[in-house]
Amino acid sequence: MTTFHPKEFRHPNPDPTIRRLKIEEDGDPWKGTVRPKIRLQGCWLEQAGFQHGHYVRVTCVAAGVIELHSIDPEPVT
């Protein structure tokens, strides 16, 4: 009998700058208001320069391509 080992199927040297995420559904399918949603979370975001409390500028570069830019929060004066 063969035992399943998920680590055997992972790339030996995964690139920490690349993530594969699933686009989720958000909304009510009965009302026809389902929209795509992408959720980003994890320690890797901090390592990539994104900090909690900061804003993100999202730019649609082309169909299926977006850019995220971390924006520092406005200083309180």
- Contact criterion met (CB below 8 Å) for 26 and 35: yes
Q: Write the pLDDT tens digit of every residue in 22-51.
A: 999 999 999 999 999 999 888 888 888 888
Q: Write the pLDDT tens digit of every residue in 5-19.
A: 555 555 555 676 788
Q: How many CB atoms lie within 10 A of CB 50?
A: 14
Q: Please give the Cα distance from 74 to 76 (Å, whole number).
A: 6
C-alpha radius of gyration, the chain, whole number: 18
- Identity of residue 31: K
Q: For the chain, give every domain's residue range.
A: 19-71
Per-residue pLDDT at 27: 94
Beta bridge partners of 58: 68
Per-residue pLDDT at 11: 57
